[in-house]
Amino acid sequence: MRIISYNLNGIRAAIKKGFIDWLKTNPADVICIQETKAAFTDIDVKELEDLGYCHHWFSAQKKGYSSVAVFSKTKPDEVIKGTGHELSDFEGRVIQLQFGEVRLINAYFPSGTSGEIRQAYKYVWLAEMQQYLEELKKTNPKIILCGDYNIAHNEIDIHDPKGNKKSSGFLPEERAWMDDFIKSGWVDTFRQFNKEPNHYSWWSQRFPSVRLNNKGWRIDYISVTTPLQKNLVGAHILPNVKHSDHCPIFMEIKL
């Protein structure tokens, strides 16, 4: 199974930039989208269906905000919307698909860049998600967690670690959560195959030269639980695909 995770920062804007044409190149079997900022009624889903994708959406109650979706060429056995955490589900942050004994989770982690209130909620969300995943592993030990985590884990994952040491997304507490997450039985699939620096998945839109000069952050991940580690085939980032301020990330696994 070829899986892509991609924060589109608005699917309607991405479609105007050629997103559907890119899907026509058959980039993956499963496309996990974060920040659709839309409901399925806002776009022409027939274009997805004509390409062989079944589509599953979990949208925020607030229009044009957050929201996740999964486009899959394999019909899942089950679709679960949300995690049961009220605010997270209100914001449309998590959708889950069951494929046999494998649970695929597509998640849009909160950002704390807008201020202290959202940063505080980010920590609450991370704690809730960690607890949820630990419980889920008891009955579903084989899990794939795709998404925009909004955290650059290590210095290698950000172009200016010294200048951003007090920036949301690279704070010590956030990075410590990632440490604990990995130690609890998860594999960062990109780093499993790529140890080099200068690989990023998000670039600020404030200055056009930022992406041109590759001054980015790696904040998008596809992680798997350790029982799936032996099934990994490869993983990479696609920085030249440009429908968003993020780019797609790719992982292939034998299921």
Is 220 an active-site residue? no
Question: In a structure prediction context, what are the per-residue pLDDT tens digits for the chain, which is 255 residues long?
Answer: 999 999 999 999 999 999 999 999 999 999 999 999 999 999 999 999 999 999 999 999 999 999 999 999 999 999 999 999 999 999 999 999 999 999 999 999 999 999 999 999 999 999 999 999 999 999 999 999 999 999 999 999 999 999 999 999 999 999 999 999 999 999 999 999 999 999 999 999 988 899 999 999 999 999 999 999 999 999 999 999 999 999 999 999 999
Q: Active site residue: 148, 157, 188, 220, which one?
A: 148
C-alpha distances in Å from residue 132, one per residue of 13, 36, 168, 195: 33, 24, 23, 30
- pTM value? 0.98
- Looking at domain 2-253, its CATH architecture is 4-Layer Sandwich (3.60)
Q: Which residues of 143-167 are buried (b: 16+ CB within 10 A; e: fewer)?
A: bbbbbbbbbbbeeebbbeeeebeeb
* Domain ranges within the chain, ordered by starting residue: 2-253
